[in-house]
Chain A
Amino acid sequence: MSLFYICLTFIIKISYNKVYHKYTVSCRLMSGVILLKTCIAAMPSYTYVLKGEKLLKARGYPCEIRRNEKISKNGCGYSLYIYNDCKKAVEILEKYSVPYTISEYGGV
């Protein structure tokens, strides 16, 4: 399982109002990379990958459909990148008869 470390960059601005003698602090997030556990579930067709995505997202599991970069032995296809607890996510897929193959665990 590959992980990304959280790296957040903020711009903090402090300004002073001479009339009212007040300081104002503002903070803005510039960039960030979120720590994720990821697994990739390859599915036989777009119908199943869409079904899988809807099931997982409805249950709070962020995921993303991607076209497979590598042609597998089954040909071209789609995978669901699951950014959460993979074990629980695949339990959901199995419960709703969504066929999948975990092609790899890995980061984006």
Chain B
Amino acid sequence: MFSLHGYGPSILEGTYLTIAISLASLCISMLLGIMGAMAKLSTSKILRIGAKTYTTIIRGVPDLVLMLLVFFGGQVFINQVAPMVGYDEYIDINPFIAGVSTIGLIFGAYMTETFRGGILAVPKGQIEAGQAYGMGRFQVFARIVVPQMIRHAIPGFGNNWLVMVKTTALVSIIGLDDMVRKASLAAGATRLPFTFYAVVAINYLIITSVSVYLLKWLENRYSVGVIKA
């Protein structure tokens, strides 16, 4: 049952793509998460309401619906806008870009909450001490808040990462050749769907288990200065 009929390399290629999509989405989501967290904690009411709307909508709508909206809707949108700026050829949306930007956008909302919690967990006295030393707002943020917030944010961050890796399976629906789609193709050709989907499931388990191990290490590293009870 566990002969892959020569489709092993193809599945492995898909696995690389899954990891690439996850990492690219992680970058976008962290960027959005930091911006979202700062907006949520800012003194400007407009920014706060904007960030709140963003997280509420994203968390209330399924990932698949958002992805289809970006993939199909983005296609229509770009081809409506492009002629206005003088570009007349038909533009195809790259599923990689559609997938990564949607997953990034979704997990940006979750990261916003994680980072907001992390920033709030930094004792106020630390920030005041920084200000007392004459640091500017940016310096306080970069030197005092960020290094300490990472420790508080790692558990939530790790959770988001694990969920995100699994969410990348959805890109197979918009035609990206990740490992789930590679498995579907192989399953169709060999009539061995169980074998190939089981292999993919094991791959996901390996990725998540390695991630858990690395996150544990990271957490210990960032808690070096903390005395445990």
Q: Do A and B bind each other?
A: no
